[in-house]
Every structure is written in C-alpha cells, then in structure tokens.
Amino acid sequence: MAIDLSRFQETFFEESSEHVETIETGLLQLEHRPEDLELLNQVFRAAHSIKGNSGMFGFTAVGELTHKMENVLDGLRNNEMEVTEQIIDLLLQALDGLKSLLEVARGSGTADEEAIKTIETKLLAYQNGTERERLEAGGPRAEVQDKGATPVAERPAVPARRLVTIMWVPLPELFQRGLDPGRIFQELASLGRIHTLTVNADRLPDLPAMDAEVCYLSWTVELETEKPLKEIDAVFDFVRDESELTIAEPSAPQPPASQEMGEDEHKRLGEILVEEGEITQAQLETSLSKQKRIGEILVEDHEVGPRKITKALEKQHRLDTVARAQRGETTSIRVGTDKIDKLINLVGELVITQSMMANLTQTFTMDQVPLLQERVLELERHSREMQERVMSIRMLPIRTAFRRFPRMVRDLAIKNGKQIQLVMSGEETQLDKTVIEAIIDPLTHLIRNSADHGIEPPEERVARGKPVQGTIKLDAFHEGGNIRITVEDDGQGLNWDKILAKAKQLGMVAEGEPLGKKEVWQLIFRPGFSTAEKVTDLSGRGVGMDVVKRNIESLGGTVGVQTREGQGTKFMIKLPLTLAIIEGMTVRIGREGYIVPLVSIIESVRPTKDMMKTIVGKGEVVSLRNMFVPVIRLYDLFAIEAEFTNPVQGVLVLVEAEGTKVALMVDELVGQQQVVIKSLEKNFQKVEGLAGATILGNGEVAFILDVPGLISLAKNGSSVLV
C-alpha cells in the first residue's frame, strides 16, 4: 500500500498558493524599489520552493516554468539584468501561467499551454540575451545556458493512455498480514480507469474445507491509464513479497478504440468542424461570440424577469459551490501553534474543573453551595475564554483579501492608460474567515469601478488641477462590534444629474418625484443601473453595485456612499466581525423573549406621557431630545399578547438600521448576553422581521430580531397570513 500522497499534495497546493502570493506582492513592490535585494531574494526563495516541491510531486510543467522564472530572477539578483517594467510584466505573466498550471495540477481549470510556451520562450530569451553578452565579455559561467535549455529537451514523453494488464496472485497468507486487496484496487482506480476486473476463484475449495482467513482468490485487472508502469508497480509495494505479480503493457501501445473514444467524448461540435476544415478557427470564434446566454434570451423573450434570472444564477452558483465542496476541495486555515497550545491548556483546565465538580456533586452537602457556585463560575470563565479562542482561530487579518488588489489596480491602470496608486491601510485588522472570503467579490467590484470610472485619464486630471496620479485608498478598521472597510478614490465623483437622468430614463424614478440626496446616491445600488458611457469587459454593464449591496447585506452588513463631484467617491462598508455569534440584548414581550442585536441598539428609555405623540397618518412617535422617532409596538406587529400596551409602562428600545431610527416597544429588558445564531431557514424558512433563532440557557428557543426587516415590515404594514 503506497503512502497516500494526496494528503501531502493538498499541503503542496496550499503552500504554493502562498508562495505565488509572495512572488506577486514581491514583484509589484520590486517595480518601485528595484534596488531592494532582500525583496528580490524573497521572491527568488518563493519561486525556488515551488520548483523544489513541484518536482517532488511530479508536476513537471510547474517545475519547468518556475525554473525559467528562477533563472531570470537569478540574473536580476546577480546584476546581470536590470529590473525593468518589461521584466516585471513578463514575470507577472509567467506567474499567471503558473497559477493556471497549479490549478490544472489540482485537477480543476485549464491552462493555456500556448501562452505558457510563449512566456517560457520569452523568459529564456531574456536570460540568454544576458548570457550572450556575458559570453562575449568572456564570462566564465557558460553552463547557465544549459541549465535554461535542458528542461525542454528533458521533458519526458508522457506515455499515452493504454490498457495495462495486471495479474495478481497473492499468497494465501495475505489476510493474516492485515492486507486488504480492496485498497489495492482503489489505488489502481485512482491511477486510471479500471476497464475490467476479473476474479479467479479456481483455487477456492468447497465450503467445508474453506478457511476464512486464507486468500484463495487472484485477480486480473485491465487498467486504462497513462501512468508509467513504475507507478502502477508502486501500488503493489506492500504486497510484493506475498504475491506473484505480472504487469504487462499491450504490444500495440495505444488501443485505438478506447483512445479515439476518450478524446471524442470531450470534443465540441465547433472543434470538430474546425478540425475537418469546414470552418476556420476565426469563423468559429465570431459565431461563438454571437451566442447568447440562455438567461439573456429568456429575458429578451419576456419569459422571465431579470430578477428571477439573477436569482437562478445565484442558486446555480450556490449549487456549484456545494458541488465543489463535495468534490473534496476542502478549505483549511493555517493556525499558529501558540493558539493551539493555549487552547489545549484551556481544555486541560476545563477538564480539571469538570472533574472537581463531579467530585463535589458526589459528596454534596448543602453547606458546600458557595463552593459549587465558585466552581460554576470557574467553568463559565473557562468556557467563555475557550469560545473566544476558538473564534479567534477563524479570525484572519484582512490582508488575505487585500493582497490581490495591488496587482489588479496595476493591470487596470496600464490597460486604461491611467496612473493609479493604491494605498492600503489596516491590513492587520482581523475578521472571520467566511466574512473575508465573502467580501472579496464586492471589494473587487468597488475597486474596479474606482479604477475604471472613478479616476480620470491623466490629461483630464491635469486640466482639473489634480495630481496626474490618481489615488485609491483602501482602509479597514474596527469600530465597536463591527468592522468598517472604506474604498475611496480622488476621481471625478458621482454625477448627480447624470444619475437622476438615467434613473428617469430607466423608469426607476417618476418625473418630478422629489428625492433627497441619500436617495439619489442609493439609486446606484439598484439592479440594472449604470451611467457608464463606455462598457468595459469588467464594469459598466449595470450589474454590479446591486450585487455588491446584496452580498454585503447577506453578511449582515451595510454599504453607504459619499461623493463630491470632481473630488472623489467613498464607499463605506460596515460588517459584523463574525457571523456565528452576536452580542444581544434579551427583551421580554408578554411571556416570550426576543433578542435584539446589541450593535443596532442606541439606547433604551421609559418614556413619560408627554413624550409620546401621535402624528396623523404617520402613527406614533416618541420625542427624544427634540428628535421624533417612530414607535413600533412589537406585540402589535407580531400579534402576540403583551403585558403592557401603554408605552409609559413598558420600555422603548431605540434602534438604528440603514440610517433610520425607530423605537421598539417591549415589556422589559432582561439582560445582555452572547447568543449563537441558529438558522431558521435550515429547517423552516425565512420569517420577516427575524434574523434567526438562538437557544437560551434553559433550552428554549428565542428569536433574534432583524432590525432592518422590522422597519420595512412596520412601513408596509404587518403581513399576517392565516
């Protein structure tokens, strides 16, 4: 039984992606600080590690490409070449190729082999260029050239897919040595496709004479694989001493039937037509570009609305994600050993406290009550600390999300002919891994928007008296129980008139409808809204800001925008630190408890009679320091029986969501506690006004209020369905 390599491969991919990131950031910084040798060394080391590791796992293509990158880097290191924008560009391209090759090695994605070849040739050309110069100068290190050239020649011919016949006759003692033939077949199957598996039961005696611990069977396997015989042979490493084994390749190396089939199965119609010379590749591509997505066709035929399509697409995406997860692409977090050590310590403490309590309860007398209380307190302290520590494992610095942006901004700037610098701060701010992963897409979109539409072309900037180089600022910081991320540019800002005109044109705003400043800016978050005159491949299609908003809201966050025409735009994102646990205030209405998320609570008051006012057509308000806040009677909204129906007897909890303040009327404040959010949707469905449920200390279920939902519920009137 061979060692399960896949386990180590996972580590390899993880490490490689870290190295790739190191190389990427390194190269980008190198562009600005070409003389920084330490930086260069760092990049070199990362490339070297990838090369070494990939060799170990037999990913030759990865190894070759990194080798060539390494040679160029080596040249830079030895001052044989200078760091120029072209070289950095080329190395970045090579890095992209490397990423795709790693994906392929991982078993997903495709690599543009042509492009990689071109890059490799270019890399070689760079290296050889300097080599020649040095040779002309009579330099001694001529072998470097060979180093660069050999891998191509060395590239082992990959054996074609063929049928390999394996005859395996294990010794009768196979089972007694604890070996399982099933495992062997599983491993064989992982090398290719098992075509036929024949069991030879000739040696099997009659039932009375049979010994269950003796292996009488032997097998003949026809394995369809492209793997070399050596690898197949390795599968039998552990049973070789106990078996007779013959592995035979077919005399004709490629069984034509299966070969043909294997390829044709994956061929597309267009490819075949091109192959048969009916059309050219160019024709095929023009025709393919005319092809529309099914969603677009359906919308055009008015079969379904665009919203339904978006929804369906989201569902598809979710399903894909699930499928990917099921394919075994596990995500993992690297955790510092110190964190784990501390956790183990804590677990130890917890176990000790628990056994002390067990002891205590066995011989419990009433006079030991204080002691018991003390122990319970200790237990509480430990479990709370443990909870915090476990949560902190999920916390990662937001740097992991930020570090892809310098490259993106650089590429966008070059493509658009602009000069843009990206200033990032607060990269060490920690937040939940799931939040980080989910925030990447919206952030990418906002930054792209800034680079594409926000920052003006250089001449325009000069004309406006701004510095030629535009600036995009990305910042993250903690504030209360939230994390705030801002994306700010010093570009042209949003255009009030243009947005309004466009909204009218799209029928989102009625003519003459009065709109406040806030409402106009909110228009850009509507589905289908875009004022861009030029549609690029990345932005301006009118899908985007609405998705940004929805993504952020699905994380329980909010997004706002501030803009000044001609001076820039600032997007502000507010997110919860974690999705699993919130700090909540338990309130009581009648006999039922509800949790109000603490982050949305501003204050709570018991109003006096003259603070309560009724406004005709607007309902009830409470006057607080000359501010009128609408009152939502929760018992009314939820149709439950409350102890008090007069606000003067109850308590008003002032909450804020999306810039709107309301006062929730409850019977009593019970207390503050951390609650674990449980999904209602998992077994039931979303209930308006409720963000989820939690389980209280007494085992009962209590609902967590969804403040934005409550506000809209109160606005639209309650929707009781009976």
- Does residue 682 belong to the site contacting another protein (CB under 8 A)? yes
Which residue among 280, 345, 554, 718 contacts another protein (CB under 8 A)?
718
- Does residue 636 belong to the site contacting another protein (CB under 8 A)? no
- Does residue 332 belong to the site contacting another protein (CB under 8 A)? no
| Nearest distance in Å: CB 636, another protein | 11
| Nearest distance in Å: CB 550, another protein | 13
- Does residue 722 belong to the site contacting another protein (CB under 8 A)? yes
- Does residue 390 belong to the site contacting another protein (CB under 8 A)? no
In Å, what is the CA distance from 42 to each residue of 13, 76, 101, 231? 19, 13, 22, 35
Minimum CB distance to another protein smaller for 105 or for 705: 705
Q: Got the DSSP string for 242-296?
A: GEEEEEE--SSSS-HHHHHHHHHTT--HHHHHHHTTSS-HHHHHHHHHHPPPHHH
171 exposure class (CB count in 10 Å sphere: 0-12, 13-18, 19+): middle
- Does residue 326 belong to the site contacting another protein (CB under 8 A)? no
The stretch among 226-234, 240-248, 262-270, 634-642 that binds another protein (CB under 8 A) is: 634-642
Helices (H) and strands (E) in the chain, counts: 24, 22
- Measured in whole angstroms, the distance separating CA 340 from the mean position of its chain's CA atoms is 24
Minimum CB distance to another protein smaller for 186 or for 718: 718
Minimum CB distance to another protein smaller for 48 or for 678: 678
Q: How far apart are CA 63 and CA 52, in angstroms?
A: 7
Contact yes or no for 123/72 (Cβ under 8 A): yes
Site string for another protein, 538-577 (x = CB under 8 A): ----------------------------------------
Q: How far apart are CA 533 and CA 524, in angstroms?
A: 15
| Nearest distance in Å: CB 634, another protein | 9
Minimum CB distance to another protein smaller for 234 or for 690: 690
| Nearest distance in Å: CB 679, another protein | 7
Which residue among 274, 444, 678, 712 contacts another protein (CB under 8 A)?
678
Q: How far apart are CA 225 and CA 232, in angstroms?
A: 9
Contact yes or no for 1/187 (Cβ under 8 A): yes
- Does residue 638 belong to the site contacting another protein (CB under 8 A)? yes
The stretch among 5-13, 74-82, 177-185, 682-690 that binds another protein (CB under 8 A) is: 682-690
Binding residues among 577-596 for another protein as defined by CB under 8 A: 592
In Å, what is the CA distance from 297 to each residue of 187, 300, 538? 46, 5, 21
# residues near another protein by CB under 8 A: 29
Minimum CB distance to another protein smaller for 647 or for 689: 689
Closest C-alpha to 452, from 375, 531, 515, 398: 531
- Measured in whole angstroms, the distance separating CA 624 from the mean position of its chain's CA atoms is 44
Minimum CB distance to another protein smaller for 1 or for 687: 687
| Nearest distance in Å: CB 580, another protein | 13
Q: How far apart are CA 134 and CA 80, in angstroms?
A: 8
Q: How far apart are CA 353 and CA 372, in angstroms?
A: 11
Q: How far apart are CA 262 and CA 417, in angstroms?
A: 46
- Does residue 602 belong to the site contacting another protein (CB under 8 A)? no
Q: CB 517: neighbour CB atoms within 10 A? A: 9
Minimum CB distance to another protein smaller for 616 or for 721: 721
Which residue among 683, 706, 708, 711 contacts another protein (CB under 8 A)?
683
The single-letter DSSP state of residue 608 is -
**Burial code of 624-637, b = ≥16 C-beta within 10 A, e = fewer?**
beeeebbbbbbbeb
| Nearest distance in Å: CB 323, another protein | 16
Binding residues among 364-383 for another protein as defined by CB under 8 A: none
Binding residues among 684-713 for another protein as defined by CB under 8 A: 684-690, 693, 695, 699-703
- Looking at this protein, which amino acid is placed at residue 140? P
Q: CB 215: neighbour CB atoms within 10 A? A: 20
Q: How far apart are CA 391 and CA 718, in angstroms?
A: 37
Minimum CB distance to another protein smaller for 63 or for 556: 556
- State both tokens at 33: 């600080």
Minimum CB distance to another protein smaller for 514 or for 717: 717
How many residues in the chain?
Answer: 722
In Å, what is the CA distance from 575 to each residue of 46, 404, 450, 522, 680? 34, 20, 21, 18, 21
| Nearest distance in Å: CB 311, another protein | 9
Minimum CB distance to another protein smaller for 81 or for 655: 655
Minimum CB distance to another protein smaller for 269 or for 720: 720
- Does residue 291 belong to the site contacting another protein (CB under 8 A)? no
- Does residue 717 belong to the site contacting another protein (CB under 8 A)? no
- Does residue 680 belong to the site contacting another protein (CB under 8 A)? yes
Minimum CB distance to another protein smaller for 210 or for 640: 640
Minimum CB distance to another protein smaller for 256 or for 717: 717
As a whole number of Å, the end-to-end CA separation of the chain is 63
What residues make contact with another protein under the rule CB under 8 A? 592, 637-640, 678-680, 682-690, 693, 695, 699-703, 718-722
